[in-house]
Amino acid sequence: MAAANRYIDNSAVSVNRLRYRPNTDLPATVARPGTILLAIFLAAIAARVDAQQLEPRSYTNTPVGMNFLIAGYGYATGTIVSDPSIPLKNADIQTHELVLAYARGLDVWGLSGKVDAILPYDRASGSAEFSGEITESSVSGWGDPRLRFSVNFYGAPALSLKEFVDYQQDFIFGASLQITAPLGQYDPARVYNIGTNRWTIKPEFGISKAAGRLTLEFAAGVTFYGDNDEFLGDRTRTQDPLYSLQGHVIYNLRSGIWLALDGTYYTGGSTSVDGMEGGDRLSNSRVGLTVALPVTRHYSLKFYASTGVSARTGGDFDAVRMAWQTRWGGGL
């Protein structure tokens, strides 16, 4: 799942127990080919969902020194469309995610900035039809932690909370850099892991324009992937860059409640294993709705829902999330 803005703002076969022996065939008594294929698709979804998130209000002014602590839960379910050359049909995946996130407003040489970090814990399970037989798998563990730094270059000066009271947004231009570290659950002897065993880096540029109660926000980014050289033992899995566009229409109410209509389009991200292309390039779009409800001066709730609109391959899933946020500091 995504950086902190997203939250601030029983199986027939257990994949965890399947052992892989490099450069040898798996015994039929250990794992059927369909189970291995399903596990690979589970891994592909885990690696890509983060690039498909809808994150409204990523480019806003945050008072210097203000801290946010967020606890969230997310659920997603959907169908995976595999490489047509592989006889895997009717794949259906369900994921549950718990997250703990932290963010802090920064003064970046007079410009407003922010750093946020997120630590996820995931459980994924699914089933698919392989050669007329239903195969099931499940796995759970800590995901790869993510760290993001963002700065607004124009329209959002660094302000204390006292100064922020008189601030009125007009046009903001900013950028962010997100890094995902390969520290999640990963064992090369297993066919599926929650962690991806590779670094990723995502630079992004965004703009935000306020017009009365409405705020329009757009962002464009690209995710670059390192190689996983321990995929299924000693194989090397590579992935092309994934390009993404996001747009949000945000409506702010006087009570502090805000609503956002969200949309995203992403393309690219083809994978290869030992040079063999997977034929899984993405060209997908999603829409969603976000609602933020203040509870007290220091606490708030957020609710999210999104669904796929079009999908060339993969990523055709429905998702709901909720998050509890508390804030402190900044002279508050």
What's the pLDDT tens digit per position in 267-285? 988 888 888 887 777 788 8
Contact 75, 120 (CB under 8 A): no
Name the burial class of residue 168, with classes exposed (0-12), middle (13-18) and buried (19+) by CB atoms within 10 angstroms of its CB: exposed
Task: Write out the E strands in the chain.
Answer: 66-80, 88-108, 111-130, 133-142, 146-154, 171-180, 200-211, 214-225, 228-231, 235-239, 242-252, 258-268, 271-273, 276-277, 282-294, 299-310, 316-329
Q: Which domains are delineated in the chain?
A: 4-329 (2.40.128.130)
pLDDT of residue 37: 59
Give residue-wise pLDDT tens across range 50-109: 545 667 899 999 999 999 999 999 998 876 544 433 445 666 778 889 999 999 999 999
Count Cβ atoms below 10 Å from residue 225 Cβ, excluding itself. 23
Contact 264, 285 (CB under 8 A): yes
Please provide the size of the chain in residues.
332
Contact 217, 56 (CB under 8 A): yes
Name the pTM for this structure: 0.82
pLDDT of residue 12: 28
pLDDT of residue 80: 53
Under-50 pLDDT residues of the chain: 1-3, 9-31, 47-48, 51, 81-87
Contact 242, 51 (CB under 8 A): yes
pLDDT of residue 41: 57
pLDDT of residue 110: 96
Quote the DSSP letter at residue 64: T
